[in-house]
Structure 1
């Protein structure tokens, strides 16, 4: 490969990478018109002013259905003997079992998510056999997976800690 072709290829890859990053940035959803903006955070309409929220999306569940459709019946002679068997074709279609949905979840506000709070969260998840990592006070990938494992049976398939889960774990006082 000549130097000019090599440079051209590298420049093309760099341009493609920059284009991909620009597209990724465009994927960040701006708030919708009915979302409430508060100090750089968004909440559903009617949310209390001192609450913090996060939005997560559950993907659509799609099922592939396959069936056999008869295209020609069997041909029989006068004695009932099969001269030619029936012929079938396979048809497949996809059906949406559950549509994609967006959910708002109330979360502990960022000022509450201190390293001390996160260490307590890691210990609480560890005591339940859901977290086996170091107790370091950072909301890392392992901690988020443990949070997701804790919350999934509660109906929230997200690694973002909900306020309800924090209360259930005994990390936040129950509202009076």
Structure 2
């Protein structure tokens, strides 16, 4: 994701964060610093309506296999000796070892992603010793690095805040069980 630095009022930062978060539910596509596709307007099969999603594409693992292909077989004499040697050519082909996959995870939707929300996120990360920057409500590089650190430790290598991490940090309500 291309980083843009602003030194404006909190309302402009809030407008920017709202636009960035809103893009998560529209048809545009953005790639974060960690390589995660964000805001492509898609969701996993069976996703509840009104939810927002991020995904981490995992590329396919492809191997190049080289082998010998028989072009002309050996010719044998009547007495069993070889008249002409066989002719081979080298051939390479690619083989997929592991297919491409997408790992989906739910993210906070635009109405919740405000300057106040990011400030709360920064304070929660600060309280856990993961963030030492200013609490300014700006989703800056330091905040993204802290989010990446906490989520990577939980098996989600992304600098985009997941709803699960937000709940674990206590900044998003946990839904009640019926």
- How big is the shift at 1:41? 2.9
**Map 1:35-114 → 2, pairs under 5 A:** 41-58=41-58, 101-114=101-114
Aligned-CA RMSD value: 2.9
Task: Write 1 or 2 for the structure with the bigger share of helix.
Answer: 1
Q: CA deviation at 1:142?
A: 1.2
- Between Structure 1 and Structure 2, how many residues are aligned? 109
Cα distance in 2 for partners of 1:61, 1:128 equals 37
Q: CA–CA distance in 1 between the matches of 2:161 and 2:49?
A: 20
User: In the TM superposition, what whole-angstrom CA distance separates every residue of 1:53-96 from its partner, at most 9, and x where no partner exists?
Assistant: 1112246789xxxxxxxxxxxxxxxxxxxxxxxxxxxxxxxxx9
Tell me the SS of whatever aligns to 1:124: helix
CA distance in 1, matches of 2:150, 2:126: 11
Give the Cα separation in 2 of the matches to 1:124 and 1:136: 13
Deviation at 1:29, TM superposition (A): 6.4
Answer yes or no: is 1:127 the counterpart of 2:127: yes
Q: Hey, what's the Cα distance between the residues in 2 that align with 1:101 and 1:170?
A: 30
The answer to which structure, 1 or 2, has the higher relative contact order (CA under 8 A, 6+ apart) is 2
Unmatched segments (≥5 aa) in structure 2: 1-27, 31-38, 63-95
* TM-score normalised according to structure 2 size: 0.53
CA displacement 1:109-141 (0-9 Å, x = unmatched): 022110000000001001111111111101111
Q: Mark the CA change 1:47 to 1:134 in structure 2 (over 3 Å): closer, same or farther.
A: same
- 2:80: which partner in 1? none
Corresponding residue number in structure 1 for 2:136: 136
Q: Which residue of 2 aligns with 1:86?
A: none
In the alignment, the residues of structure 2 paired with residue 56 and residue 174 of structure 1 have an alpha-carbon distance, to the nearest angstrom, of 24
Q: What is residue 168 of structure 1 aligned with on the other side? A: 168
Q: TM-score, normalised by structure 1?
A: 0.54
Unaligned runs of 5+ in 1: 1-27, 31-38, 63-95
